[in-house]
């Protein structure tokens, strides 16, 4: 399949819901593409309250839940649309699905479920997460569009653990992949995907919003540690709390703040209590960007001791704000923070090691600390800004032949 | 003829969990009338004649029928009681049909003792005291050990209602101590340890495994501390130990699957789904060690079962486990959240001399026979029902 380089290309972006105001990555990506002359159509599985003020056209999948009658009616309507409005594409889809080994019943079901994706013409159909492409592997080809898939971390590393071989069919298709780090690229290549079909585009942040203060913070009597993360096991917060216990046992005067909410609240709260860290750890819940910035501004060391991590925008934001960052070596993190240059990278799942590194950092001369901060600020500013990301996505859709 | 004491064992579901079913069946052998309220999960649960089912199937029609029956009975024969309960429900914002279908049958049958199995339900059932029913609450694991730590509203509910509960059944001394933090008066708590009726199979306990087999059993919940057990496996692998670790009930956990892959332990660690007790029993008997890696426990029944089945146990010193295990005498204890400690204990156990192993196994078996027989538990529970005084 060869690409045509023309303006006003239409990108169909497939997501679960329209991104919220705080989900800056997709919002930035969409506005960047629009600025570069692309038209973007968003295909989503579920309606949300943000749909009306969203700055591009949104196509929402029919709701197949609810009563049996409703399901039957929506299914019938979708099938009718396929047969009447796009019969050729539907026939092509059914034929491709047959080649992929699906039974007639499965083919029809998948056609009905994917009908909304046929509704608009697009040049590229880009699945925003790998797991959104499952059961839709033949849609782009049937539509006559190119197919792109972004792997963002847990979709690549965790989904196959729950649904074995879920990407088997996808990896046989002509797809251009977007990944967040070189390590992830290597891991995708292990599935026999050609080097040139995978493009690394790292996340980017708004560097004029997340900006370091003129004068770097000097660490006060109580060292302030902070993490911004969803309360999820993959963020390694339990290992981090165990490291905090080591710090407390070694009589380090510190306070640790976690910003974020999530399903593991009970586990984390219990660990704080059991490790007797109630006076040393604060859970602030989910905060707005402005408030996150305030918290970062008054902190000294940022910790991202994840077990699994695609790349991590929060670590970029912390570096841009001039915090010293200690991260684990989970997937993309060691490309996000360069060990001993822009922060410190240490092996995951070893709380003693994390605590030891924090103590070591506290003992470093100010000149060394400031040099690390300065290098991190410059690197994020130069390499992880939105302009660079927008240019990379423009190139992604423009100059590419799928091998 | 003296009328039998009516005991309601309430968990909401019929049949309930294994340990509650053991309690029901044990009590039903005594001179008591056991009443089970709630909804039927299976159509024909088999109990003896001492058990009265006041249950409904979980369909709208069955619920309406159930509610109508008991509304009619109360209106016709106990209208004052109905009016009193309705007024309580109104004040506590529980005046819905969904609540009434649960409450009216209990009000009509008025058991002598209402034994509530789950502490989180305390605000739903505190009203029974207004009708002279003795309220006894079981203090079990999650409901006491960690839910109120994360849920401040629940902690406040406990603190305001526990002082009004007539009696408490604690599954361990440790959990009794936790409940005291939420206002449960110490003198109203009786520790009644779990009882079981599990015996080793005749052909059990061949210790000739070439590979050292370790097994853990339980749902894949963070409280079980499996991530520490898997971190322990990494240490064992690095020490070139020839071992296999199986978690029964852990197959649905992405976290554990990821950790196994991440640490390259695919050849050493296996996650299996839940199984019937018969299969679990055979697994325990074929294993060299049962591992309990929990960060918190009441008293883990699976440890008691392993001891009864003459399989060595290594448990973390969590909750009430130290009340059961005397290290080096009838099992092993390790510190919580400590893979290094777990690994060093496993290495010690692997090197154990056969006569010492046999003596630990024998002590463990004796301990269960002395302290955790089903009839011991039932005696304890009957004493709790008899000796508990209604507090005003």
Is A190 at the interface with chain B, CB within 8 A? no
A347 chain-B contacts, CB cut-off 8 A: none
Q: Find the farthest-apart pair of alpha carbons in chain A and give their distance in angstroms, rounded.
A: 73
Q: Are the Cβ atoms of A307 and B231 closer than 8 angstroms? A: no
Architecture, CATH, for domain B212-371: 3-Layer(aba) Sandwich (3.40)
Alpha-carbon distance A374 to A320, whole Å?
9
Q: Which residue has the tokens 């690549």?
A: A156
Q: Are the Cβ atoms of A161 and B222 closer than 8 angstroms? A: no
Is A97 at the interface with chain B, CB within 8 A? no
Q: Is B210 exposed, middle or buried (0-12, 13-18, 19+ CB in 10 A)?
A: exposed
Chain B: residue whose CA lies nearest to A352: B338
Average pLDDT over residues B203-214: 74
* Predicted confidence (pLDDT) at residue B204 exceeds the cutoff of 90: no
Q: Which residue has the tokens 């039998």?
A: B4
Q: Find the farthest-apart pair of alpha carbons in chain B and give their distance in angstroms, rounded.
A: 76
Choose the mutation target among A131, A159, A236, A270 for the interface with B, i.e. most B CBs under 10 Å. Answer: A270
* Predicted confidence (pLDDT) at residue B209 exceeds the cutoff of 80: no
Q: Are the Cβ atoms of A162 and B254 closer than 8 angstroms? A: yes
Chain B: residue whose CA lies nearest to A155: B254
B295 chain-A contacts, CB cut-off 8 A: 270-271, 274
ipTM over 0.85: yes
Does an H or E element contain B269, and which?
strand B269-272
Residues B279-323: tens digit of each pLDDT = 999 999 999 999 999 999 999 999 999 999 999 999 999 999 999
Which runs of E-coded beta strand occur in A74-169? 124-127, 146-151
The pLDDT assigned to A333 comes to 96
DSSP assignment letter at B21:
H
Confidence of residue A243 (pLDDT cuts 50, 70, 90): very high
Residues A202-211: tens digit of each pLDDT = 999 999 999 8
**How far does the CA of residue B267 sit from the closest CA of chain A (Å)?**
16
Q: List, in order, residues 6 or more apart from A59 with CB less than 8 Å away.
A: A41, A42, A43, A44, A116, A117, A119, A120
A131 chain-B contacts, CB cut-off 8 A: none
Chain B residues near any Cβ of chain A (below 8 Å): 146-147, 149-151, 222-223, 227, 231, 254-255, 257-259, 261-262, 295-296, 336-337
What's chain A's average pLDDT?
Answer: 91
Choose the mutation target among A166, A232, A233 for the interface with B, i.e. most B CBs under 10 Å. Answer: A233
Using a pLDDT cut of 90, give the percent of chain B over it. 85
Q: Same topology for domains B5-196+374-387 and B212-371, yes or no?
A: yes
Q: Is A350 exposed, middle or buried (0-12, 13-18, 19+ CB in 10 A)?
A: middle
Alpha-carbon distance A378 to A376, whole Å?
5
Q: Are the Cβ atoms of B255 and A264 closer than 8 angstroms? A: no
Q: DSSP assignment of A91-109, as one string? A: HHHHHHHHHTT--HHHHHH
**How far does the CA of residue B66 sit from the closest CA of chain A (Å)?**
26
The pLDDT assigned to A400 comes to 56
Taking Cα atoms as reference points, which of B154, B152, B174, B127 lies closest to residue B320? B174
* Predicted confidence (pLDDT) at residue A119 exceeds the cutoff of 60: yes
Q: Are the Cβ atoms of A242 and B337 closer than 8 angstroms? A: yes
The pLDDT assigned to A5 comes to 45
Chain B: residue whose CA lies nearest to A350: B231
A157 chain-B contacts, CB cut-off 8 A: 258
Confidence of residue A4 (pLDDT cuts 50, 70, 90): very low
Choose the mutation target among A239, A349, A352 for the interface with B, i.e. most B CBs under 10 Å. Answer: A349
A 10 A CB-CB count for B328 gives 14
Q: State the Rg of chain B over Cα.
A: 23
Residue spans of the domains in chain B: they are 5-196+374-387, 212-371
Confidence of residue A216 (pLDDT cuts 50, 70, 90): low
The CATH class given to the B5-196+374-387 domain equals alpha beta
Q: Are the Cβ atoms of A264 and B337 closer than 8 angstroms? A: no
* Predicted confidence (pLDDT) at residue B207 exceeds the cutoff of 60: no
**How far does the CA of residue B113 sit from the closest CA of chain A (Å)?**
33
Q: Are the Cβ atoms of A234 and B255 closer than 8 angstroms? A: yes
**How far does the CA of residue B173 sit from the closest CA of chain A (Å)?**
18
Q: Are the Cβ atoms of A161 and B296 closer than 8 angstroms? A: no
* Predicted confidence (pLDDT) at residue B3 exceeds the cutoff of 90: no
Alpha-carbon distance A96 to A139, whole Å?
9
What's chain B's average pLDDT?
Answer: 93
Q: Are the Cβ atoms of B296 and A274 closer than 8 angstroms? A: yes
The pLDDT assigned to A2 comes to 39
Choose the mutation target among A157, A266, A307 for the interface with B, i.e. most B CBs under 10 Å. Answer: A266
Q: Is A191 exposed, middle or buried (0-12, 13-18, 19+ CB in 10 A)?
A: middle
Alpha-carbon distance B171 to B181, whole Å?
16
B231 chain-A contacts, CB cut-off 8 A: 349
Average pLDDT over residues A41-45: 94
Asked if residues B192 and B225 have their Cβ atoms less than 8 Å apart, the reply is: no
Q: Is B44 exposed, middle or buried (0-12, 13-18, 19+ CB in 10 A)?
A: exposed
Q: Are the Cβ atoms of B255 and A157 closer than 8 angstroms? A: no
In chain B, which ranges are continuous DSSP H helix? 18-27, 60-77, 79-91, 97-109, 122-125, 141-145, 147-150, 152-161, 173-181, 226-238, 254-262, 277-286, 301-308, 321-324, 339-350, 354-371, 374-387
Q: Which of residues 246-285 of A touch B (CB under 8 A)?
A: 264-267, 269-271, 273-275
B149 chain-A contacts, CB cut-off 8 A: 266, 269-270, 273
Edge-to-edge order in the sheet of strand B289-292:
B269-272, B243-248, B212-217, B289-292, B312-316, B332-334
Q: Is A4 exposed, middle or buried (0-12, 13-18, 19+ CB in 10 A)?
A: exposed
Q: Which domains, and CATH codes, for chain A?
A: 10-60+120-203+386-398 (3.40.50.2000), 223-383 (3.40.50.2000)
The pLDDT assigned to A3 comes to 41
Residues A248-274: tens digit of each pLDDT = 999 999 999 999 999 999 999 999 999
* Predicted confidence (pLDDT) at residue A213 exceeds the cutoff of 90: no
């Amino acid at each position: 399949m060869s690409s045509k380089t023309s303006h006003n290309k239409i990108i169909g972006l497939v997501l679960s819901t329209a991104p919220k105001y705080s989900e800056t990555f997709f919002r930035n990506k969409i506005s960047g593409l629009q600025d570069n002359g692309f038209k973007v159509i968003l295909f989503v599985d579920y309606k949300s309250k943000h749909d009306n003020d969203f700055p591009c056209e949104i196509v929402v999948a029919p709701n197949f839940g609810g009563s049996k009658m409703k399901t039957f009616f929506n299914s019938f309507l979708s099938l009718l649309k396929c047969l009447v409005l796009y019969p050729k594409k539907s026939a092509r889809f059914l034929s491709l699905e047959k080649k992929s080994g699906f039974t007639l019943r499965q083919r029809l079901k998948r056609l009905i479920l994917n009908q909304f994706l046929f509704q608009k013409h697009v040049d590229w159909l880009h699945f925003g997460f790998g797991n959104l492409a499952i059961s839709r592997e033949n849609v782009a080809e049937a539509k006559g569009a190119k197919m792109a898939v972004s792997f963002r971390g847990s979709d690549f590393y965790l989904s196959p653990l729950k649904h074995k071989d879920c990407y088997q069919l996808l990896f046989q298709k002509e797809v251009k992949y977007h990944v967040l780090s070189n390590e992830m690229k290597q891991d995708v290549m292990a599935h026999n995907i050609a080097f040139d079909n995978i493009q690394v585009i790292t996340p980017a942040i708004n560097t004029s919003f997340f900006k370091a203060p003129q004068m770097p913070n000097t660490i006060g009597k109580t060292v302030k540690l902070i993490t911004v993360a969803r309360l999820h096991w993959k963020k390694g917060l339990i290992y981090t709390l165990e490291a905090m216990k080591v710090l407390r046992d070694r009589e380090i005067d510190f306070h640790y703040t976690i910003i974020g909410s999530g399903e593991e609240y009970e586990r984390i709260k219990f660990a704080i209590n059991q490790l007797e860290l109630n006076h040393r750890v604060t859970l602030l819940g989910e905060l707005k960007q402005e408030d996150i910035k305030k918290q970062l501004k008054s902190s000294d060391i940022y910790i991202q001791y994840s077990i699994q991590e695609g790349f991590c925008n929060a670590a970029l934001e912390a570096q841009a704000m001039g915090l010293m960052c200690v991260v684990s070596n989970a997937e993309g993190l060691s490309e996000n923070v360069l060990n001993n240059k822009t922060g410190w990278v240490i092996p995951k799942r070893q709380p003693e090691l994390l605590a030891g590194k924090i103590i070591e950092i506290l003992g470093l001369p100010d000149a060394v600390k400031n040099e690390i901060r300065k290098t991190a600020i410059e690197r994020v500013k130069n390499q992880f800004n939105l302009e660079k990301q927008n240019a990379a996505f423009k190139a992604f859709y423009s100059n590419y032949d799928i091998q | 003829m003296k009328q039998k004491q009516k005991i309601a064992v309430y968990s909401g579901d019929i049949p309930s969990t294994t340990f509650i079913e053991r309690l029901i069946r044990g009590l039903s052998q005594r001179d008591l009338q056991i009443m089970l309220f709630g909804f039927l999960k299976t159509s024909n649960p088999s109990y003896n004649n001492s058990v009265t089912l006041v249950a409904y199937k979980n369909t709208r029609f069955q619920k309406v029928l159930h509610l109508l029956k008991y509304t009619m009975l109360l209106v016709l024969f106990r209208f004052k009681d109905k009016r009193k309960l309705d007024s309580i429900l109104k004040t506590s914002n529980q005046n819905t049909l969904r609540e009434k279908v649960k409450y009216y049958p209990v009000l009509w049958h008025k058991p002598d003792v209402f034994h509530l199995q789950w502490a989180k339900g305390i605000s739903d059932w505190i009203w029974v005291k207004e009708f002279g029913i003795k309220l006894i609450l079981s203090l079990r694991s999650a409901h006491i050990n960690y839910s109120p730590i994360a849920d401040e509203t629940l902690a406040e509910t406990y603190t305001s209602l526990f002082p009004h509960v007539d009696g408490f059944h604690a599954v361990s001394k440790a959990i009794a101590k936790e409940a005291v933090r939420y206002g449960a008066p110490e003198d109203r708590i009786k520790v009644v340890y779990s009882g079981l009726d599990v015996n080793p199979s005749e052909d059990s306990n061949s210790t000739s495994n070439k590979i050292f087999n370790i097994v853990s059993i339980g749902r894949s919940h963070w409280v079980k501390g499996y991530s520490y057990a898997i971190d322990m496996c990494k240490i064992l692998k690095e020490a070139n130990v020839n071992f296999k670790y199986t978690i029964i009930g852990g197959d649905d956990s992405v976290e554990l699957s990821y950790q196994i892959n991440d640490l390259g332990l695919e050849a050493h660690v296996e996650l299996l789904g839940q199984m019937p007790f018969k299969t679990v029993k055979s697994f325990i008997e074929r294993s060299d060690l049962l591992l309990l890696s929990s960060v918190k426990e009441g008293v883990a029944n699976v440890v008691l079962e392993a001891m009864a089945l003459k399989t060595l146990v290594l448990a973390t010193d969590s909750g009430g486990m130290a009340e059961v295990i005397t290290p080096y005498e009838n099992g092993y204890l390790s510190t919580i959240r400590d893979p290094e400690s777990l690994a060093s204990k496993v290495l010690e156990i692997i090197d154990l001399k056969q006569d010492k192993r046999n003596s630990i196994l024998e002590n463990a078996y004796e301990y269960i026979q002395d302290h955790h027989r089903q009839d011991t538990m039932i005696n304890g529970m009957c004493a709790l029902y008899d000796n508990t005084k209604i507090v005003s």
